[in-house]
Chains A and B, each alone.
Chain A
């Protein structure tokens, strides 16, 4: 692996085996269980080759079910690729997605300490950074409120603030800003995106929101039914993406 390649995927595919519920009596069900006819194979991601360098901002676009989230899980190593594939990641990563990442029973303070500690910060680091995190997330009034009372926007702000201040080398955002965050917060996150390259922070951004991708991405990947259809500059790929959506719609109408 080259020195500044932080995420590398080689021939990565991912097949899920799903057992469908078979209707019928117990005998029929156990028969299909034994001969395996109730197992369905779903190829979520097919044969992806990709290298992401330190400081890059990579966007991933594609229709629902095209394998974007699975690809993120493969990058982090949470999912293991099918035999023959190789995935590796270098550095501390954090994956941000809406609704996940925090324990609703814990307060904002406790969640910050827990997540920060797991990211590798010491308690004294966190004591120093605590104010900054809370101010960045604009949650000064909710420090001791349990997360379950937080709105989606508040959670998103908190998660992003933790990720930024815990100095994650790689931030993977999975539909993270989907409709949350007011203008002020957008401005702040834009600052982070702008300085990411200088700080050597890698960002992978899965989104339907084209604005951020268009503005900051160095490269964009278009996924279609698990395959990497194209990689290129934001303008090029977003244009292609819009056209594929239109084509899909047309072909559906013809059927």
Chain B
């Protein structure tokens, strides 16, 4: 894959093997996650496909008439959502999961967070490839505006990294955060434009759109991918701003509380 190649090129540079290490951590994590099951990595895309199918069947009665290509509408929203959900849930537990390395070897401890974000990206790349193939098969090939798409993924990764760092810090003092976070995720699923048309709710409550770090990523990535529309640049600005603030808070709290996290394991 492209990232593997990038890692290989990077190692030609002297001294640091940092990128390579982060990639290796991510890759092995991805393998471990599915290695115990009989179907293995097939689950990585069977699971989201089945989810999408269920949502499609359930919601298409309500929304299919007002949203064109409703199946793809859900698909494109849900893969962004699943990335965020998976990355933050794993990020919450990454210190515990990587205790066996963090305690024993000298390296930059942030690497385990970077790799956790990358692990989820591998699954995401599988999903987005399936989606693009389906779009082409169904005669809706993406336009040149697809080049904007990585921008939203970058935004999503910055956001997920920041949230993971903050959650794992809170986890040091409050173990209940993993249950609480499940609830927050549940709430977020229903207020983000994953399966409903964005106009409906956002016309009533614009704050849900502009004060929400995730909604814009979903809307813009969908617009460029499926509808070939120009992204809403104001929303892009908002979202990058939120993600950077959250990442800054995350890095600060991680540096301040990491020692406590290891001691209290």
Could you tell me how many residues of chain A have their Cβ less than 8 Å away from some Cβ of chain B?
Answer: 32
**CB neighbours of A49 from chain B (8 A):** none
**CB neighbours of A175 from chain B (8 A):** none
Tell me whether B102 and A95 are in contact (CB under 8 A).
no
> Measured between alpha carbons, how far is A100 from B31 in the docked complex, in Å?
20
Interface residues of A in 51-73 (CB under 8 A from B): 73
Tell me whether A118 and B259 are in contact (CB under 8 A).
no
Residue of B nearest to A172 (CB): B104
Which of A95, A96, A114, A117 sits near B17, CB closer than 8 Å? A117
Q: With A100-B100, A103-B100 as known contacts, state yes or no: A79 contacts B105, CB within 8 Å.
A: no
**CB neighbours of B102 from chain A (8 A):** 78
Residue of A nearest to B16 (CB): A120
Q: With A79-B262, A115-B105, A123-B11 as known contacts, state yes or no: A103 contacts B17, CB within 8 Å.
A: no
> Measured between alpha carbons, how far is A73 from B104 in the docked complex, in Å?
9
Residue of A nearest to B111 (CB): A118
Interface residues of B: mostly helix, strand, loop or mixed?
helix
Q: Mark B222-265, 1 if CB is under 8 A from A, else 0.
A: 00000000000000000000000000000000000001001100
> Measured between alpha carbons, how far is A94 from B104 in the docked complex, in Å?
5
Interface 9-mer from A105-113, A191-199, A246-254: A105-113
Could you tell me how many residues of chain B have their Cβ less than 8 Å away from some Cβ of chain A?
Answer: 24
**CB neighbours of A95 from chain B (8 A):** 103-105
> Measured between alpha carbons, how far is A80 from B261 in the docked complex, in Å?
11
Q: Is B86 an interface residue (CB 8 A)?
A: no
> Measured between alpha carbons, how far is A131 from B101 in the docked complex, in Å?
23
B115 to chain A, nearest CB (A): 10
Q: Is A16 an interface residue (CB 8 A)?
A: yes
**CB neighbours of B259 from chain A (8 A):** 78-80
> Measured between alpha carbons, how far is A105 from B259 in the docked complex, in Å?
27
Tell me whether B24 and A120 are in contact (CB under 8 A).
no
B36 to chain A, nearest CB (A): 7
> Measured between alpha carbons, how far is A115 from B103 in the docked complex, in Å?
12
**CB neighbours of A122 from chain B (8 A):** 11, 17, 20
Tell me whether A16 and B263 are in contact (CB under 8 A).
yes
Residues of B within 8 A of A (CB): 8, 11, 17, 20-21, 24-25, 28, 31-32, 35-36, 100-107, 111, 259, 262-263
Q: A78-B259, A94-B104 given; name 6 further pairs at CB < 8 Å.
A: A73-B103, A80-B259, A95-B104, A106-B32, A118-B101, A123-B11
Residues of A within 8 A of B (CB): 16, 73, 76, 78-80, 89, 91-97, 100-103, 105-106, 110, 113-115, 117-124
In the A-B complex, the 6 residue pairs with the closest CB atoms = A80-B259, A95-B104, A117-B21, A122-B17, A105-B32, A117-B24
